Each structure stands twice: as C-alpha cells, then as structure tokens.
Amino acid sequence: MLRFQVEGMTCGHCVQSVTKAVQAVDAKAQVQVDLAGKSVSVEGSDQKDAIAAAIRDAGYEVAA
Ligand SMILES: [Cu+2]
C-alpha cells in the first residue's frame, strides 16, 4: 500500500478530485482519503512517483 501526505484537501470535492487523479494513473487503484489526517492511501498500485505527480497536477501539495 502507498501512503501520501497531502495538503489542501478540505471537502468531498477534493476527495473526488484526488481519487480521480490517482485512478487516471492506475484505474484499478483503490483510494482512501483521510481529510482529517491529510493522508491518501492507495491500494493496488505501485506507481508512487506517477501518483504523487498526478495529485500535484490536481492542485494539491504532496509531501516528499
Ligand atoms: Cu474540496
């Protein structure tokens, strides 16, 4: 499982945006967003760098 620390997610729309961004990289990835914990967990993919880049492209900050 991959886990990312993501800044700037505030609501359900952000959850949707991040989920879509991740699944654009890997359609079969399962995405779990924890707004309070500012974390995104991705199951079923090992494309860590590509997913981090996609989340950044969606407008959020990903901790390195
Ligand atoms: Cu939002």
Best CA proximity match to 1, nearest among 30, 38, 36, 21: 30
CA 1 to chain centre: 12
- Predicted confidence at residue 2, as pLDDT, reads 98
| Centroid of ligand 1 to alpha carbon of 8 (angstroms) | 8
Question: Which residue ranges make up each domain of the chain?
Answer: 2-62
**The predicted structure's pLDDT at residue 53:** 98
Q: Which two tokens stand for residue 45?
A: 């993919």
Ligand 1: distance of its center to the CA of 12 in Å? 6
- Summarised one tens digit per residue, pLDDT across range 5-64 is 999 999 999 999 999 999 999 999 999 999 999 999 999 999 999 999 999 999 999 997
CATH of 2-62, one of 3.40.50.11540, 1.10.472.50, 3.40.50.2300, 3.30.70.100: 3.30.70.100
